[in-house]
Chains A and B, each alone.
Chain A
Amino acid sequence: MLSTPMFANGGRMKEYHHSGSTECRFSPYAYNGGTVLAVAGEDFAIVASDTRLSEGYSIHSRDSPKCYKLTDTTVLGCSGFHGDCLTLTKIIDARLKMYKHSNNKSMTSGAIAAMLSTILYGRRFFPYYVYNIIGGLDEEGRGAVYSFDPVGSYQRDSYKAGGSASAMLQPLLDNQIGFKNMENVQHLPLTLEKAMQLVKDVFISAAERDVYTGDALKLCIITKEGIKEEMVPLRKD
């Protein structure tokens, strides 16, 4: 991509009057930013992402959502290097089709998660620079969230934030959904309305303080009725 020496320092301008020798190297990766979030409830799951695509100091697009619908019950959110996101989703779609043709049924969320883990580990020594979060319903209809690292380590969670503002969002989710570090509070189960409001609030906060997050928020709400999508505007600056 635009991995010229100007952007090689991860967006910082190269210093003028650089003394000594300079090494220019081609980097196969670029960092396109973006934040993804998934929350699992008793009978629903929400996968949300912002829609900003950046590189360095520039914004390439304000309408590039990071949620990809895989099946009727599963949505994948991927952020990181956009090129690898596109290739990875292409490969996952192909594998889903192959599974459907061989086994005459759609892949379950858990199966997709296990498959994604091996796809990512297959490139252990030249990884897909993608932070994935899968949200969907498991075989019993309960909400499921699976979070990954770029080389395929994964686990099932009830909520997870990934991408550029993950370190800002995750602690807030830990407190509000996980009731962490709170004493003498009633652990109420998470309703769909509260979850949606929380996700919107949390992204609005992230857009305030993270340069790579903003423009708009796309929510995919997965219930047994299907997948509903909603767009919410965010700060464009």
Chain B
Amino acid sequence: MAAQHVRSLTCILVRLTVLNNSKGKEMGCHPGFGQLSHSGTTYGNFFLSRTDNPGQFQHGVIVAVDSRATAGSYIASQTVKKVIEINPYLLGTMAGGAADCSFWERLLARQCRVYELRNKERISVAAASKLLANMVYQYKGMGLSMGTMVCGWDKRGPGLYYVDSEGNRVGGDLFAVGSGSMYAYGVVDSGLRPELSVEEACELGRRAIYQATYRDAYSGGVVNLYRVHSQGWERVSQDDVLQLHQQYKAEAQD
């Protein structure tokens, strides 16, 4: 039913595009809508699962996110859950328009469940991310704002895909998404090594998000850490950024 709701929207849209030509300008006079994008940092890290690289090991996917949502320069919330639990072995992250991310990922969860019922097996990360990419591609150019990472574990091992509302869908080992992503990349790229243990990897993710919240005004709140392994995902930790600040400062002094 929800899918139909949106499908019918596609038709109305074509007509409205002409009428609402200056929609952006009108919207500009009014307070902005909740935005995660230029406000959130999400970061997914995928470790070394390729079987053609037998020297390395499989930890899974570490996903670290902040929890701030802004509407313009107003902080709308410091307790946003930017990791969406699609099903027990798939996670999606949120950056961009808050409603866009949560709506489309909820729809993705529904589609994944339908796939399971039809095919009697779990959906792969590649297929799930492709479903999402194809759903939003139909609205390309209409103003959706969504940058998400689909992370999971399937029969090919850990999977990580970056999908956005522009139509990009790209698989990889490491992504950082959002306004603070550059800061997170700096920390992760310099700290990433093949022989990291699970705890070290988690700490690296946590530090990357903390550093991003330190320098990016649109990131903050708490750092939520998840890990996806062969049995599914688990919530590793939730740390307030202010407390991490005290902790890292104390560590730096000794």
**A, B bound:** yes
What residues make up the interface of A, taking CB atoms closer than 8 Å to B? Answer: 9-10, 25, 27-29, 31, 117-118, 120-122, 124-127, 129, 147, 149-155, 157, 167
Of the candidates A29, A31, A121, A126, which one forms a contact with B99 in the assembled complex, judged by CB atoms under 8 Å apart?
A121
Closest to A166 in B: B74
Q: Across the interface, which residues of B come within 8 angstroms of A117, CB to CB?
A: 99, 102-103
A117-B98 Cα distance, complex, nearest whole Å:
11
Asked if B2 and A151 sit within 8 Å, CB to CB, the answer is no
Which secondary structure dominates where chain A touches chain B? loop
Residues of A within 8 A of B142 (CB): 125
Given known A-B contacts A10-B29, A125-B13, A151 and B143 have beta carbons under 8 A apart: no
What does the 1/0 interface line of B67-107 toward A look like (CB < 8 Å)?
00101001011011100000000000000011111110000
Complex-state Cα separation, A184 to B69, whole angstroms? 28
Q: Which residues of A contact B117 (CB under 8 A)?
A: none
Q: Are A118 and B2 in contact (CB under 8 A)?
A: yes
B contact residues vs A (CB 8 Å cutoff): 2, 5-6, 9, 12-13, 16, 20, 22-23, 26, 29-30, 33-34, 69, 71, 74, 76-77, 79-81, 97-103, 142-144
Q: Nearest chain A CB to B98's CB is how many angstroms away?
A: 3
B9 contact from A28, A31, A122, Cβ within 8 A: A122
Do the beta carbons of A167 and B20 come within 8 Å of each other?
no
Mind listing 14 A-B residue pairs with CB under 8 Å?
Answer: A10-B30, A121-B99, A122-B5, A124-B9, A125-B12, A125-B13, A125-B143, A126-B23, A149-B33, A152-B102, A152-B103, A153-B102, A155-B80, A157-B77
Q: Given A122-B5, A125-B143, A129-B30: A149 and B99 within 8 A (CB)? A: yes
B interface: dominant SS: helix
Given A149-B98, A155-B77, A155-B80 in contact, is the A121-B30 Cβ separation under 8 Å? no
Chain A residues with Cβ under 8 A from B100's Cβ?
A: 124, 151
* Distance between A159 CB and nearest chain B CB, rounded to angstroms: 11
Instruction: Give the residue of B16, B20, B29, B97 whose beta carbon is less than 8 angstroms from that of A151.
Output: B97
A150, B76: Cα distance in complex, Å: 12
CB-CB under 8 A from B12, the residues of chain A are: 125
Q: Output the least CB separation between B136 and chain A (Å).
A: 12
12 extra interface residue pairs, beta carbon distance < 8 Å, beyond A25-B22, A117-B103, A127-B33: A25-B26, A117-B99, A121-B99, A122-B9, A124-B144, A125-B20, A129-B30, A149-B76, A151-B34, A151-B99, A151-B100, A155-B79
On whether the beta carbons of A155 and B26 are closer than 8 Å, the reply is no
A31, A126, A154 pick with most chain B CB within 10 angstroms: A126
